[in-house]
Amino acid sequence: MRFEETGLKATILKGLQDLGFEQVMPIQEKVIEAMLESRSDLIGIAQTGTGKTAAYGLPLIHLVNPGQKKVQALILTPTRELCIQVAEDLNAFAKYADGIGIVAVYGGASIDTQIRALQKGVSIVVGTPGRLNDLIRRRKIDISGINTIVLDEADEMLSMGFREELDAILTQTPASRQTLLFSATMPREIVEIAEKQMHDPIEIAVGRRNVGAENVAHFYYMVNAKDRYLALKRIADINPDIYGIVFCRTRKETKEVADKLIIDGYNADALHGDLSQAQRDYVMKRFRNKTLQMLVATDVAARGLDVNDLSHIINYNLPDEPEIYIHRSGRTGRAGKTGICLSIIHSRETGRLKNIERLVRKPFEQKQIPSGVEICKKQLFKLIDKMEKVAVDETQIEPFLPMITKKLEWLSREELIKHFVSLEFNRFLDYYKNAPNLNVLRKEKKPVTKGAKGLKGPKGAKPSTHRGKSYFSRFFINAGSQNGIDPASLIGLINETTKKRDIEIGKIEIMKSFSFFEVDSSFSDRLVSSFDNIEHDGRKLVIEAAQERPESASRKKSGEKRSFGSKAEKKDFGSKPKKTKTKRKEKKNKGSVR
């Protein structure tokens, strides 16, 4: 569908032509049609980069009455950067629409300048919650008569702690307003806002809820924790044209990683909460201009960044919440382009990775950290390709050729090539000489021989085997003895839910409020998908891949906490198993607990 078919005004279409916009993106088609045909509230589920600014911005400009010198539409964004970007986009769309004023109001800039802009009369205000509330308290803006309010990246606004500010702003708007809410994910808080502040909203989703962008490939590398930075360097070296964001967990780590990259000669810088607004703007300007190849950032500092054409997102650390991964990965693969999201993990993070994988609903492929030989080969051919394509100005270089030729005449063609390559390439050859293998092999679950003790499924089950052994995966379920679960009923529940009676079942441990069990690894995906939205005894069942078996009984007696695979497990870590099939012998180590 082309923009000419949407019904937008000719003045808007002219502005779109200047921008080179021709084809309507999926969310744009649906939102524009809904806004032009009705005044219904609307929830848009879409990743960043899917064109949602134009989706709501174009019909807003179409519906604004230029003759009314008052605020008719309000757009709220979580950050200064996104606020500025949205206002710039809307001004570009309204280039030929006379009489429509668009103003951005945000913190970190002069409020007096923004007040003067508002006093001239504006139709659409784009703002951050904090600055807008400040202007409302000063009575410098009146939003009591607006027709439409847009909450852009609403989930980000809530995660940044703007719930009270949002509620305060919404109370100042008329009940008859149209509310548009756009979010990449739908956490519980967003659902609450929709229920309290919206009236029978239309839901428009591009893709599925809480799912990553379709054109992003997801990979992970497994290394020892101490080798994480070395792995990052190799990833950067094997991708010489990388243009991406490296996400770290803390400000301290962000600074350390960025400093190391800069010292090691990489084109990188840091973005974190300790930077002043001027420093932040300087870093972002360099990154947007691609003067920087890698931006090392925390999730908080990177919120609201709108940067196109990112090739890579690198998770130096996995996020604390799986939903944050969706926001990170959604920064690449935008506007129909492909992108790559990489994670550097260690062996104890496989459970967390599986949780993210289930949320994204895509398989993550394990990649091998490239060897020194592979990196040198890639960098060498990059250098040769760069040399081949370099522009040669004959008139400028001609006068120097006789002198250069005489200077190098003692070198043969082959020797000349060797000298040229070595001049630019020796640092890679020296650094990666005898470079160690950083990869850690993923540990398989402990094999259980056929005939090992433990509860098994129906007779005739055929688990996946390797040289006569079956491999089992261990799972957690949020139901235990107090919910009427025992080994027999759990086996029956698995058979009934999966609609398959030949799944081999290994050890079962029944706790008070949760349980652990093992199943043939080849049925893991089927098990997880089958238990989606299943209830038992009045509660929704949750099945998750469990981490490795809890530590020894000696640790339990010592009072130390054990690490389980989910929050629900932690609540009941002191419960004793009601029934186990085998008892593992524990080694007693003096002075230490393994």
Residue spans per domain, the chain: 3-205, 216-369, 373-431, 447-571
Task: Confirm if 32 and 6 have CB atoms less than 8 A apart.
Answer: yes
**Residue 512 identity (one-letter amino acid):** K
Span 3-205 CATH architecture: 3-Layer(aba) Sandwich (3.40)
Rounded-to-integer distance, Cα 360 and Cα 318, Å: 14
State how far the Cα of 85 lies from the Cα of 159, in Å rounded to an integer. 20
d(CA 315, CA 212): 15
Question: Which residue, among 134, 543, 50, 92, has the nearest Cα to 306 in the 3D structure?
Answer: 50
| Best CA proximity match to 245, nearest among 231, 256, 232 | 232
Sheet holding 148-151, edge to edge: 102-105, 124-127, 73-76, 148-151, 178-183, 42-45, 202-205
DSSP E strand stretches across 10-151: 42-45, 73-76, 102-105, 124-127, 148-151
Among 96, 86, 87, 84, residue whose Cα is nearest residue 17: 96
| Those residues with Cβ within 8 angstroms of residue 195's Cβ, 6 or more apart along the chain or in another chain | none
Output the tens digit of pLDDT for each of the chain's 594 residues: 889 889 999 999 999 988 888 888 888 989 999 999 888 999 988 766 668 899 999 999 999 998 888 899 999 998 888 898 899 999 999 999 888 999 999 988 899 999 999 998 899 999 999 999 999 999 999 999 999 999 998 888 887 788 889 999 999 999 899 999 988 777 778 888 888 889 889 888 765 444 455 688 999 999 998 999 999 999 999 999 999 999 998 888 999 999 999 999 899 999 887 887 788 888 988 998 888 999 999 887 777 676 778 999 999 999 888 878 888 888 887 766 788 999 999 888 888 888 888 888 888 889 999 988 888 888 888 888 888 888 888 888 888 888 888 888 888 888 888 887 777 777 777 888 778 889 886 554 444 433 333 334 433 334 444 434 447 888 989 888 888 888 877 887 887 788 776 678 888 888 888 898 988 888 888 888 888 878 877 778 888 887 654 443 333 433 433 333 444 444 443 444 444 444 444 444 434 333
- Residue recorded with tokens 């599925």: 208
How far is it, in rounded angstroms, from Cα 193 to Cα 200? 12
CATH superfamily of 216-369: P-loop containing nucleotide triphosphate hydrolases (3.40.50.300)
Cβ atoms of residues 295 and 272 within 8 Å: no
The predicted structure's pLDDT at residue 566: 41
What's the sign of the alpha-carbon dihedral 274, 276, 277, 283?
Answer: negative
Please report the DSSP string for 326-388 in residue order: HHHHTTSS-TT--EEEEEEE-GGGHHHHHHHHHHHTSPPEE-PPPPHHHHHHHHHHHHHHHHH
Alpha carbon distance 479, 486 (integer Å)? 10
Cα distance between residue 14 and residue 310, in whole Å: 29
CA distance 235 to 220: 11
Alpha-helical regions (H) of 94-187: 111-119, 129-137, 154-159, 163-171
Q: In whole angstroms, what is the distance from residue 592 CA to residue 47 CA? A: 49
Same topology between domain 3-205 and domain 447-571: no
Query: Does domain 447-571 bear CATH number 3.30.70.330?
Result: yes
